[in-house]
Chains A and B, each alone.
Chain A
Amino acid sequence: MSVVHQMGHHSNNLIDLPEMSAYSGAIFSPINCTEAEASQQIDDVRNSRKDFDIILDPQLYVPATQRGKLRKWEYFPKDVDSADLSSSRWWSDLNKKLSTVSRKIKVNSVCSPVVIPKAFDDKFYSMSVKVCDDLLALSASQKVRVFQTLLVNLSELSDAARSPQIASIISRTEADEIYLIFVSSVIPRRELTAVDDLVGAMRLIRSLEQDDLKVTVGFCSSDILLWKTAGASTCASGKFFNLRRFTRQRFEEPTAEGGGQLPYWFEEGLLSFLREGDILRVRKQDLFSEASKRNPFCLEILALIDGAQQTHADLKPWLKLSWRQFLFWFANMEARLAGREITSSDLLSAADANWKKLDKAKVFMEERDNDGTWIRDWLNVITEFQAASH
């Protein structure tokens, strides 16, 4: 049971922070650095944290993408625009290069390459398994673990049969670990709310875990609550958390340079991302959770806000603090869930009660859609998942 960093642009400076020690590893993305830079970052990490698990995600999801530095990597296929993606040989050639690069930059693990398909059909999943098994065979002698990457179209999981179908095919993999990514069209900063889809997603995780396949759910946000309840071994998140939800559109965005973003505070008491004004409103209602009161980055953010108010000065930027505040909460909450100090249902029920208090006090968040309505959806998701599990 653990959490890992989903590395973004210049995320490496987060790894060494003492407050991030709960993160047992990181999923490196070739988008944000060259091979040489990645190699240097990995060496640096190894110097400070020997047991840190370094996983390479080759990011072949949209082969034609021009994002970041991806095309500069040695394994990235030069013929990607004209390649026959149904060719086993093409994948095998890619795997050979990927295996070589993995060894060269000294990662512990590599995720099998997959593309976002036009249709998430059974043939796509069968091919994913073949590609992974090929990479596994190539990597076995190099002591590099291989994750079976599993891309799932979240909206297809509302069909109750789809989860066991996908799980049945993907569990043919020779790998022992699954890197699971839910592809959705839900826009950044909005919670996933389709109850049937989410129940299906939880059933998928549970089925794979029960078959001794350790699941790492990538690109998590506050939905970690659901994935942990389903039994996911590991959840990954990054500083961009909800801003970088895994949608096809994210590959059409310009490479993030860290600018142009608004800072958010994640409040466990509401299970919601708060803007600056919201933070003050929620504090006035005395609805900060104990987790927030113990989060060192919450204290820093409040000190900045209070300082600016007292001195009538401009508020100093707190974007970096907001990333850290979320990531600290993410790891801390996972540890409490894993240690059975709390349950997702209790957290959701408490948040539901707090949203009710805000409604009664006529407190509204700056963003119209930030109204807590997903909380009751998630409570229903857990109830339905648990009913289906018995």
Chain B
Amino acid sequence: MDALELVARRICAKRGMRFAGQVGEGTFKQTFKVLNAQDTPLALKLYKSVGSTGRDQREVKAMLRCQHENIARILAVEKVANAGEEHVAITEEFFLGGTLSSKGQLSLKACKAIGAKLIGAVGHLKELGLVHRDIKPDNIMFRADGVTPVLTDFGVVRDLADSSMTPTWAPRGPGTPFFAAPEQLNNEKSLIDWRTDQFAIGVTLAFSMYENHPYKMGRTSGLEILERVAAREQPGDWFVTKAEQDGVPVLTRMVAPWPIDRYRKPRILGQAWDQQKG
């Protein structure tokens, strides 16, 4: 049995909860499904090591500040000692509706509805000076109704009021490269703001609808796509044309190479999104 699973089981025993299995693993933490006394499923996230990166504290601090229907809520936080190591345990809502990646290809209608909610969520983050930096289909989950998206996993969240944890020498900043904006891929810290999340939402929605990255050209490989994004080339013509034809041209501006060419304010993006014909 994995050491963190053991810790998770101990927490369950202590709190009168039932352990239901591991549901995810990231660089810094593992997520387990647990059931409380009322049989309500919850997500128990365990950091692999406390204080090793400081990201655990930043994640908790950021999430506790958020109050938005489409952003995951923290229910409890505690520190747990095991075998001489200390772990941070976060209990969150468990989303029965699955992830965006599990939903398969999105319809235009679903894309518009989900997009509107996600824009609202990043607008809330912007007000708090937070940048999620890892928006992707796996980190968008759905409530039990299957249609309400929730932004999860704030493991690499950036609070713009705090100093950056990413070293300047690093070739790229944290996040999932496939969905990352050029400023993340190039570790251009001074250019990171809410428009970085706007880019990721654009790629996430485009990928979920068209099953291709908007910067894909012909038979470009995944690596070549990343190179195109990092070099700030333009999105593929196929994507621009398709988004226009489908009545969602706002997607094209959302994934513009430079932040200045994306939407400046969430309110303006939200209005443009709602006014689309698609």
- Residues in A lying within 8 Å of B, measured CB to CB: 122-123, 125-126, 164-165, 167-169, 171-172, 207-208, 210-213
Contact = CB atoms under 8 A, between A and B. Distances in A.
A85 to B, nearest CB: 18
Contact of A165 (B191, B193, B195): B191
B268 A168 contact: no
A167 B268 contact: no
Nearest to B188: A165
Interface string B183-223: 00000101101010000000000000000000000000000
Interface in B212-261: 258-261
5 contacts: A164-B258, A165-B191, A169-B191, A171-B264, A210-B261
Q: A-side binding surface: helix, strand, loop or mixed? A: helix
A212 B264 contact: yes
Contacts of A122: 190-191
Interface string B158-193: 000000000000000000000000000000101101
Contacts, number: 36
B190 A212 contact: no
A207 B190 CA distance: 18
A164 B190 contact: no
A123 B190 contact: yes
**4 closest cross-chain pairs (CB), A and B:** A122-B190, A168-B259, A167-B260, A164-B258
B263 to A, nearest CB: 8
Contact of B190 (A169, A210, A213): A169
B252 to A, nearest CB: 14
A140 B258 CA distance: 30
A297 B267 CA distance: 49
Given A165-B190, A168-B258, A171-B264, 11 more contacts: A123-B190, A165-B191, A168-B191, A168-B195, A168-B259, A169-B191, A171-B259, A207-B258, A207-B260, A212-B264, A212-B268
Nearest to B183: A168
A126 B190 contact: yes
A138 B195 CA distance: 26
Contacts of A210: 261
Centre residue among B193, B264, B268 by max chain A CB count within 10 A: B264
A164 B261 contact: yes
B152 to A, nearest CB: 26
A230 to B, nearest CB: 14
Contacts of B261: 164, 207, 210-211
Contacts of B195: 168
